[in-house]
Structure 1
Amino acid sequence: MERLRKIIEEKIDISESDWEIILSKLQYQEIKKKDFLTSTSAIENKVYFILEGVFRLFIELPEKDVTIDFGFPNKFLSSYSSFLMQQPSVSCIQSLTTSKVIFITRNDLYDIYKETTAGEAIGRLFAEEFFRYKSKRELSFMMESPTERYLNLVKEQPQLILKIPQKYVASYIGITPQALSRIRGKI
């Protein structure tokens, strides 16, 4: 919980009384490898903070799954549009490793908005983090080659990238596993 507090306090001042309220709303969960946090058509009710492990956010299409995101330690994760709009999720979140998370439910987050002075700023922090990441990802598809996208992922998470099956990495950067093998061979 202290790691989460430190990350939040890098951007927001939180009083001790506010932190006590926030702490009372946070929950801890251990997730087995291949377990799902969110499934397609379920309404997302939680925002997660990853303590340990790697997650894959993907969309199930008739012909294949498309990986749209990975979740790594010290990052927030959610099917955020479903969380905000309370509509069925179009994506799934699956743990690729044994993992540990802290989460907050939507109702508890809204209670924090009402009960603390830092609550609205925390909500804004979640929204800005999700927006910043999605914008960066969209720009990478418009401005970078698959090789550059792969190298950026390796640079961001050099140890954890080894725990992700190659087919998911390839899907994430928008190429086939064979094309990823060629890129890796050249590097």
Structure 2
Amino acid sequence: MQQLIKRLQQLHYVSEEMQQHLESQFTRVVLPKNEFLIEEGKICRHLYFLEQGCLRGFYNLDGKEITHWFGFENDFVTSFHSFITQDPAVENIQLMEGSILWSISKDALNKLVDQHREAERLLRIAYEKYYIRLEGRFVNSQFRTAAERYEKLLTETPEIIERVPLGYIASFLGISQETLSRVRSRL
């Protein structure tokens, strides 16, 4: 829980009173590798803070898994569209390592926001960061070569090579594993 509080304090001031409310509302969740946090077709009712571990978000398209994001320590993760709208998720979120997460339900989060102005600000900042990452992924996929996308990925998350299978990395970059191998051999 201290890692979550520390991360929130990096984003915005968190009062003692709110820290106590956070501790009473978040639940520690320990899940094994390959477990699904959310599956397409189900409603996502929780927002998670990833304390330890690694996960990926992916879509199924014509029987093929398309990875569109990764989550690592200190990330807030959820199927944002489903969490916000309470519509069934169109994505899957799967753990790639055994993980420790902190979970809060949408109802508990809404109560927290109603009780603490700083919680509303923190939530807004978290959503802004999510949007910026989303836009960055779009720009990356549309305007950069495969080699540029790979180099950027390594710059931003150098540990990804040790933690994520190359097939998922290739999918995330929008290229085949063969193309990724050629890109890697040239670098």
TM-score tier (shorter): over 0.9
Cross-structure match for 2:122? 122
Cross-structure match for 2:84? 84
Q: Deviations over 1:26-70 (max 9, x none)?
A: 111111010000001011111111111110100012231100110
Normalised by the length of structure 2, the TM-score is: 0.95
SS class of match (1:129):
helix
- Give the conservation status (yes or no) of the 8 Å contact 2:11–2:122: no
Cross-structure match for 1:9? 9
Runs of 4+ with >3 A deviation: none
Give the alignment's Cα RMSD to 1 decimal.
1.2
Percent same amino acid among aligned pairs? 29
Deviation of 1:160 after TM superposition, in Å, equals 3.4
For residues 182 and 158 of structure 2, what CA distance do their matches in structure 1 show?
A: 19
- Give the conservation status (yes or no) of the 8 Å contact 1:54–1:72: yes
Structure 2 stretches lacking a partner, 5+ long: none
Deviation of 1:126 after TM superposition, in Å, equals 2.1
For residues 121 and 99 of structure 2, what CA distance do their matches in structure 1 show?
A: 28
For residues 43 and 184 of structure 1, what CA distance do their matches in structure 2 show?
A: 38
Superposed, 1:142-161 pairs within 5 Å as: 142-161=142-161
Cross-structure match for 1:31? 31
For residues 150 and 46 of structure 1, what CA distance do their matches in structure 2 show?
A: 31
- Give the conservation status (yes or no) of the 8 Å contact 1:29–1:102: yes
Cross-structure match for 2:137? 137
Deviation of 1:142 after TM superposition, in Å, equals 2.1
What amino acid maps onto 1:144 in structure 2? R
Deviation of 1:8 after TM superposition, in Å, equals 1.4
Superposed, 1:38-117 pairs within 5 Å as: 38-117=38-117
Structure 1 stretches lacking a partner, 5+ long: none
For residues 144 and 183 of structure 2, what CA distance do their matches in structure 1 show?
A: 14
Q: Aligned residue pairs: how many?
A: 187
